[in-house]
Structure 1
Amino acid sequence: MAVAVTLVRMKIAILRHSAKGQRGGMMTSGGILGLLLAGGTIFLAFQGGDWLAAAYAVWMLGWIIGPVFSGGDETLRPEFFSLVGLPAPRLAAGLLVSAFVGVAPVISLIALAGLVAAAAPGNALVAVPAMVLQLAIFVLLSKVAVAVLGIALRSRVGAIGAGLINGAVLAFLGQAWVFAVTFGQGGQIPAFVRYLPSGWGLLAVRGEYLALLSMAVLIVLLLAAWAALLARRTGASRPSTRGRRPMRAATAREAVVAKELRTWSRDLVRNYQLTFALAYGVFFAGAPLALGITGMLPLAGPIFIMMASAMTANSYGTDGTAHWLTLMTPGASDVRGRQLAWLLAVGPVALALAVAFTLAVDGPWPLVLAATFALLGGGAGMVPLISVYGLVPGTDPRSRSGNPLRTSEDDGAMTGVVYLTLFLVALTAAPAVLVTSLFGWWGVVAGAVTGVLCYWGLGLLASRRLAARGPELLQLMRTGRRPESGSSLFKMPELSKTEQTIAMICWSFGAIPLVPQGVLAAVFVSTGRLRMSWFLATYMPPGLRWPTAALMILLGLTMYGVGLWIPYRARKRAASAKAATVQGLNHTA
């Protein structure tokens, strides 16, 4: 109990100090969204059937998948206590108690209040222990999933397997409408949902009290598994002692290419990222096959390129202070070498996907080839550009913790990098897609030209930025503190709580109306093969479907515009205040 109390007090103190500034705005916006989702979940408790069980299954999946992609809650790392001498079960129990402190557990507990509304007559009191046990299962499943993935990322086979599984799961979540239509026809939820661990609390409040015992047993088993995984995590890692072939590069650029290709093949985090992007592209494009829709399958290659760009857009921040080797090498062309290595790692896979899947469904060749060529050049140019302008300080590979997914402490900035990269890389393919829709095969030429221009022009901007700001970027990688005179794409000015919340909501959710409800809805409306889905445009009368899709695209672009305008206005306001202060000092002098 003393250990648990101490860890809880530490967690509260850390959260209290970190709730200021940009992270506080993120917590506020996340809390508001969580309350809305919790309210919707409680509303389902009054609908009858298995809707509440399905909602809790989604919450459980969110607890498992969310921390896997964000690196998990590392406020209190197990490594911090490795020298204290606590037994692994005791440390795991203390960390479990402290894990209940935070915004996410509180929001989940509110959502679990739906058990009270769904309880059978006379079973309202059973809902209280059921809520606590259900939340403990959610938290422990999250901890075990992150710990298992961390262990898996210590081997190449494990990293590839984890990337495949996580990419497939996230793709299926993104295409949830397919499975809602496939399995939920007639408004019925599959009966097996209520027997998942997420539904045991609901079974308990409906009179099946053995479910409470099952929940307690599962908690004990998960706690024991987590304790065993913690013991492995805090143990010493064993470096590879296998011999390596020497590099035989004749120029500095060839040396960078060779170094990058070896990093792509040996760095387990990059193995995971590339495999994740591949699995996401294939499964996201292939999911509509369950409804007999083949139109998205040829897009697997372009989707893979976009996701690979987003996953690797912070390449300099991930590599850390190893960049000093390049800075100390006269004439080294680091950006061009990274671009070429990125193309060699991503390009063959993307072209193979595009050709194979387009051949399988017999077209549309011009659109797929144009988008693929444009996105390859756009990704190769945008990745280093975003990395040097919006670098997020990360943990040096040599200093990574037992959780390899935790490559950066600034989750908000990393989220912004991912969303911005997805948007900008997709934007590079817009001219080629437009030319294809108007002139057919000429779009392929436009895509190739666009890709070459993006590769050369964006790479040139990144090279100049790196040459001008190389020492400052190295200082940022080493200390995590940006020089006062430096500028950054993601350097946020002082914003009020309201401005932070609005900006984070716009950046986090602008993609929903823009891509699925806008762009994809327009594609499906144009084909006329999808009558009903979760796209709002498909429920509108025929004359209003296109205007609805266009309105959603406009709404998404507006949200991104507001997200950019708020910090821009704050910068102008801060600059004006600074100028007024300087003018006042000069006048006084």
Structure 2
Amino acid sequence: MAVALTMAQMKIAVLRHSLRGERAQMAGTGAALGACLAAGTVYLGFQGADLLAAGYAVWMLGWMLGPVFMGGGDETLRPEYFSLLGLPPRRLAAGLLVAAFVGLSPLVSLVALLGLVILGVRLGVANTLIALPAAVLQLAVFVLLSKVSVGLVGLALRSRAGAIGSGLLNGAILAGLGQIWVFFWAFGQIGVPSAVWYLPSGWGVLAVQGQWWALGALAVLVFLLLGAWAALLNRRAGAVRPATRGRRPMTASTPGGAIVAKELRTWSRDLARNHQLTFALSYGICFAASPLILGWNGMLPFAGPIFVVMAAAMAANLYGTDGTALWLTLMTPGTGDVRGRQLAWLSTQAPIAILLTVAFTSITGGPWPLILALLAALLGGAAGLVPLISLYALVPGTDPHRRAGNPLRTTEDDGGLTGLAYVMLALVALTGAPAALIALRYGWIGVPAGILTGALYYWGFGRLAERRLRTHGPELLNTMRTGRKAETTVTSRYDSLSKKQKTIAWWCLGFGAIPLFPQGIVAAVFVANDMLRHTWFLATYMPPGLRYPVAAAMIALGLTMYTVGAWILKSPKPPKTP
């Protein structure tokens, strides 16, 4: 018990000193969004046990997949830190479990689990008393499932088959969460499936309803998961063995060709990149295929473009994943490193995207002009933005040969990496907007427009990335080595803003995507396909004459929010007082 309390105190001390500045802003925004989701889940406690069990199933999947998507989860206290203490694996796991309850995510989840208390109050005094330990045990199950899933994926990433398999599975589940409205719509038609009661996320609800065995089952599951996590911590200490089978030597006649060959070899050998590629592929297919549950195949043609956007987000920290190997690039100028990486990225991603697009669009019979224009623009935009963003917003990464323990963690700053991925999602999607609008208005003219804009993105963003690498290479290398970013103009301007300006900029840049994409672009697509009265898409509930204007107003609102946020960051710094 003393070890567990000590670890919890260490976690509190680390968080107290680290949650400052930009990281505190990100944590606050995440807590606000989590509080909204938790409040919605608590509301389900008033609606019925079935919906509450379904809501907790979503929370459980979020706990299991969130850390996998966001770089290995919270590792403020790493098991390696305590390897010299000689603690037994189960005792170490128990201490780390107690420390894992310290943080914003467990607190938000505990608020969501108050839905059990609401349900218990509605049923009786005895049920209310059972709800309290059920909520605690349910939270312990969520946390331990998260730790065990990260440990299992980490083991899987030590083999190529495991990396590919885990990427396919995780992408499918996360796509299901992204299209949760499809399942909610289906639930509204056929009711909540009985499968939710067999998941551990529903056992707390069963216990509150009077099936007392479920409370004991939760306690047993916590004990079993703790043992599994202890075993995984023991396995985690093992080193990743490099491949020893022979490979053909790389040959290239030009420096640029050598960069392409090196990058292609990395894409084929790096298990983390194998995982990212299959994750993006699975996500794109499953996200586009989910509406088939409702009998609508209109999203299938977008599987290729969705794959491109997600693949770009996975590679958003392309230079950061190389670690301090950047010095090799700086010592050999004139090799065309950026162009080589662009070409290698296209060589690995474009064939998959084209195959998906042609196959799925053939099934639906179109719309060919829109899909082809969008795909061409997104491929060029992604190939240009991947090196550009990774150089301008570089997150210091762990050297590949030091990724032992948790292969998912390729960087020390998982929050920065997650934010970078979301920024990349938005920016790449925006690169396809001009070509898509032209295709919607003029048909096949949009295809050459998409090819032209894609080529311009590829050349222009690549040119900016080359200049950034040439002018700021030493600073970037220093960031890689020390983990501390050099002071930038944007950072200094942000720090000089007033608290009110910081808040406005953060909310505009953080939430501008909501009116722009789901309430604007996606809602307009639904209206165009006569898909009305869809969940939270406001335009689909409007009278016929207001549907497109409301969608257009939402798009304008999103663009305005981004413009205001960017304008505040770009505003001149106030003069320093002597």
The aligned amino acid for 2:524 is A
What is the rounded CA distance, in whole Å, between the counterparts of 2:476 and 2:188 in structure 1? 51
Alpha carbons of 1:376 and 1:231: their partners in 2 closer, same or farther (altered >3 Å)? same
Q: Pick the aligned partner of 1:254 from 257, 265, 268.
A: 257
The aligned amino acid for 1:435 is I
Q: Give the match for residue 445 of structure 2.
A: 442
Contact map agreement 2:493 2:569 (CA 8 A) in 1: no
What is the rounded CA distance, in whole Å, between the counterparts of 2:153 and 2:258 in structure 1? 32
- 1:514 and 2:502 equivalent? no
What is the rounded CA distance, in whole Å, between the counterparts of 1:168 and 1:414 in structure 2? 21
- 1:564 and 2:562 equivalent? no
Contact map agreement 2:152 2:232 (CA 8 A) in 1: yes
The aligned amino acid for 2:175 is A
Deviation at 1:137, TM superposition (A): 0.6
The aligned amino acid for 2:2 is A
Q: Pick the aligned partner of 1:245 from 223, 234, 248.
A: 248
Larger mean CA deviation between 10-19 and 319-328 belongs to 319-328
Deviation at 1:311, TM superposition (A): 1.1
The superposition leaves residues 104-151 of structure 1 with CA deviations (integer Å, 9 ceiling, x where unpaired) of 112221221222221131212222211111111111111111111111
Contact map agreement 1:310 1:418 (CA 8 A) in 2: yes
Contact map agreement 1:390 1:490 (CA 8 A) in 2: no
Deviation at 1:58, TM superposition (A): 1.8
What is the rounded CA distance, in whole Å, between the counterparts of 1:472 and 1:21 in structure 2? 22
The superposition leaves residues 498-520 of structure 1 with CA deviations (integer Å, 9 ceiling, x where unpaired) of 65555444444332322122111
Q: Secondary structure at the match of 1:50?
A: helix
Deviation at 1:312, TM superposition (A): 0.6
What is the rounded CA distance, in whole Å, between the counterparts of 2:417 and 2:94 in structure 1? 30
The superposition leaves residues 394-428 of structure 1 with CA deviations (integer Å, 9 ceiling, x where unpaired) of 11112224112212232333233222222222222
> 1:389-408 residue pairs with structure 2 within 5 A?
389-408=392-411
What is the rounded CA distance, in whole Å, between the counterparts of 2:506 and 2:83 in structure 1? 36
Q: Give the match for residue 146 of structure 2.
A: 142
Q: Secondary structure at the match of 2:264?
A: helix
What is the rounded CA distance, in whole Å, between the counterparts of 1:339 and 1:410 in structure 2? 25
> 1:298-317 residue pairs with structure 2 within 5 A?
298-317=301-320
Contact map agreement 2:257 2:340 (CA 8 A) in 1: yes
- 1:197 and 2:200 equivalent? yes
The aligned amino acid for 2:67 is P
The superposition leaves residues 431-467 of structure 1 with CA deviations (integer Å, 9 ceiling, x where unpaired) of 2222222322221111111122211121111111111
Deviation at 1:95, TM superposition (A): 0.4
Q: Pick the aligned partner of 1:228 from 224, 228, 231.
A: 231
What is the rounded CA distance, in whole Å, between the counterparts of 1:49 and 1:101 in structure 2? 29
Q: Give the match for residue 577 of structure 1.
A: 575
Alpha carbons of 1:113 and 1:242: their partners in 2 closer, same or farther (altered >3 Å)? same
Alpha carbons of 1:165 and 1:33: their partners in 2 closer, same or farther (altered >3 Å)? same
Contact map agreement 2:45 2:52 (CA 8 A) in 1: yes
Alpha carbons of 1:426 and 1:107: their partners in 2 closer, same or farther (altered >3 Å)? closer
Q: Give the match for residue 119 of structure 2.
A: 118
Q: Give the match for residue 587 of structure 1.
A: none
Contact map agreement 1:517 1:549 (CA 8 A) in 2: yes
Contact map agreement 1:493 1:567 (CA 8 A) in 2: no
Q: Give the match for residue 87 of structure 1.
A: 88
Contact map agreement 1:390 1:489 (CA 8 A) in 2: no
Q: Give the match for residue 536 of structure 1.
A: 538
Larger mean CA deviation between 44-53 and 501-510 belongs to 501-510
Q: Pick the aligned partner of 2:287 from 284, 288, 295.
A: 284
Contact map agreement 1:26 1:500 (CA 8 A) in 2: no
What is the rounded CA distance, in whole Å, between the counterparts of 1:137 and 1:500 in structure 2? 37
What is the rounded CA distance, in whole Å, between the counterparts of 1:496 and 1:87 in structure 2? 50
Deviation at 1:545, TM superposition (A): 1.6
Q: Secondary structure at the match of 1:239?
A: coil
Larger mean CA deviation between 443-452 and 5-14 belongs to 443-452
What is the rounded CA distance, in whole Å, between the counterparts of 1:324 and 1:490 in structure 2? 27
Larger mean CA deviation between 403-412 and 289-298 belongs to 403-412
Deviation at 1:329, TM superposition (A): 1.5
The superposition leaves residues 462-497 of structure 1 with CA deviations (integer Å, 9 ceiling, x where unpaired) of 11111111111111111122334x556899535666
Q: Give the match for residue 388 of structure 2.
A: 385
Q: Pick the aligned partner of 1:479 from 460, 478, 482.
A: 482
Larger mean CA deviation between 243-252 and 259-268 belongs to 243-252
- 1:419 and 2:422 equivalent? yes
Alpha carbons of 1:490 and 1:548: their partners in 2 closer, same or farther (altered >3 Å)? farther
Q: Pick the aligned partner of 2:219 from 216, 221, 232.
A: 216
Q: Give the match for residue 547 of structure 2.
A: 545
What is the rounded CA distance, in whole Å, between the counterparts of 1:339 and 1:206 in structure 2? 57
Contact map agreement 2:186 2:294 (CA 8 A) in 1: yes
What is the rounded CA distance, in whole Å, between the counterparts of 2:37 and 2:529 in structure 1? 33
Deviation at 1:78, TM superposition (A): 0.8
What is the rounded CA distance, in whole Å, between the counterparts of 1:455 and 1:508 in structure 2? 26
What is the rounded CA distance, in whole Å, between the counterparts of 1:192 and 1:241 in structure 2? 45
RMSD: 2.0
Q: Give the match for residue 165 of structure 2.
A: 161
The aligned amino acid for 1:57 is A
The aligned amino acid for 2:78 is R
The superposition leaves residues 281-328 of structure 1 with CA deviations (integer Å, 9 ceiling, x where unpaired) of 111111112222122111111111111111112100111111211211
Unaligned runs of 5+ in 2: none
> 1:48-87 residue pairs with structure 2 within 5 A?
48-70=48-70, 71-87=72-88
Q: Give the match for residue 455 of structure 2.
A: 452
The aligned amino acid for 2:63 is W
What is the rounded CA distance, in whole Å, between the counterparts of 1:143 and 1:287 in structure 2? 28
Q: Give the match for residue 29 of structure 1.
A: 29
Q: Pick the aligned partner of 2:436 from 433, 437, 445.
A: 433
Contact map agreement 1:53 1:202 (CA 8 A) in 2: yes
Alpha carbons of 1:33 and 1:313: their partners in 2 closer, same or farther (altered >3 Å)? closer
What is the rounded CA distance, in whole Å, between the counterparts of 1:489 and 1:498 in structure 2? 16
Contact map agreement 1:281 1:300 (CA 8 A) in 2: yes
Q: Give the match for residue 156 of structure 2.
A: 152
Q: Secondary structure at the match of 2:495?
A: coil
Q: Secondary structure at the match of 2:85?
A: coil
- 1:374 and 2:372 equivalent? no
Alpha carbons of 1:410 and 1:504: their partners in 2 closer, same or farther (altered >3 Å)? farther
Unaligned runs of 5+ in 1: 585-589
What is the rounded CA distance, in whole Å, between the counterparts of 2:34 and 2:531 in structure 1? 35
Q: How many residues align?
A: 574
What is the rounded CA distance, in whole Å, between the counterparts of 2:198 and 2:500 in structure 1? 42
Contact map agreement 1:313 1:417 (CA 8 A) in 2: yes
Deviation at 1:554, TM superposition (A): 2.5
Contact map agreement 1:384 1:459 (CA 8 A) in 2: yes
The superposition leaves residues 214-249 of structure 1 with CA deviations (integer Å, 9 ceiling, x where unpaired) of 011111111111111111112222222222321111
> 1:314-329 residue pairs with structure 2 within 5 A?
314-329=317-332
The aligned amino acid for 2:89 is A
The superposition leaves residues 138-172 of structure 1 with CA deviations (integer Å, 9 ceiling, x where unpaired) of 11111111111111111111111111111111111
- 1:523 and 2:521 equivalent? no
Q: Secondary structure at the match of 1:294?
A: coil
What is the rounded CA distance, in whole Å, between the counterparts of 1:87 and 1:315 in structure 2? 38
Deviation at 1:543, TM superposition (A): 2.1
What is the rounded CA distance, in whole Å, between the counterparts of 2:492 and 2:307 in structure 1? 25
- TM-score between both structures, scaled by the size of structure 2: 0.95
Identity %: 65
- TM-score between both structures, scaled by the size of structure 1: 0.93
Alpha carbons of 1:490 and 1:57: their partners in 2 closer, same or farther (altered >3 Å)? farther
